Structure 1
Amino acid sequence: MTLLIIAGCILLLVLLITWGKTNAFLAFLVVSLIAGWLLGIPLNKLAVAVEKGMGDTLGTLAGVIMMGAMLGKLVAESGAAQQIASSLMKVFGTKYIQWALMITGFVIGIPLFYNVGFVLMVPLIFSVAYQYKLPAVYIGLPMLASLSVTHGYLPPHPAPAALVTQFNANMGLTLLYGLAVAIPAIIIAGPIYSKTLKKIVSVPLQTFKPVILPEEKLPGLANSLLSSLLPVVLLIVTTVIPFIFPSAAFLHDVSAFFGNAMIVMLIALAVATFSLGISTGMPMKKIMLVYESAVKDVAMILLIIAGAGAFKEVLTVSGVSNDIARALHHWPLHPLLLAWIIAAIIRICIGSATVAGLTTAGIVAPMVLQGGVDPNLMVLSIGAGSLMFSHVNDGGFWLFKEYFNLSVKDTIRSWSLMETIVAIAGLGGVMLLSMIV
Structure 2
Amino acid sequence: MSTFDLFHVSDDERARAAAHARMAATQAAHIPDIPADTPLRPVQRVAVIGAGTMGGGIAMSLANIGIPVTLIDSSAQGLERGLARVKDNYATTVKRGKLSPADMEQRLALITGTLQMADVKDADMVIEAVFEDMGLKQDIFRQLDTLAKPGAILATNTSGLDVDAIATVTSRPQDVVGAHFFSPAHVMKLLEVVRGAQTAPDVIATLMDLGRRMGKIAVLARIYPGFIGNALFRNYTREAHFLVEDGALPHEVDAALKKFGYAMGIFAVHDMAGNDVGYQTRKAQMATRPTDRRWNDLILKLCDLGRLGQKSGKGWYRYEAGDRTPQRDPELEQFIVEESARMGIQRQPMDENDILKRCLYGMVNEGAKLLEQGIALRPSDIDITYLTGYGFPAHHGGPMYLADRIGLDQVLADIQRFHAQDGYWWQPAPLLERLVREGKRFADLQPAA
Q: Under TM normalisation by the shorter chain, which class is it?
A: under 0.3
Structure label with greater radius of gyration: 2
Q: Considering fraction of residues, name the structure with more helix.
A: 1
State the TM-score, normalized to the length of structure 1: 0.25
State the TM-score, normalized to the length of structure 2: 0.25
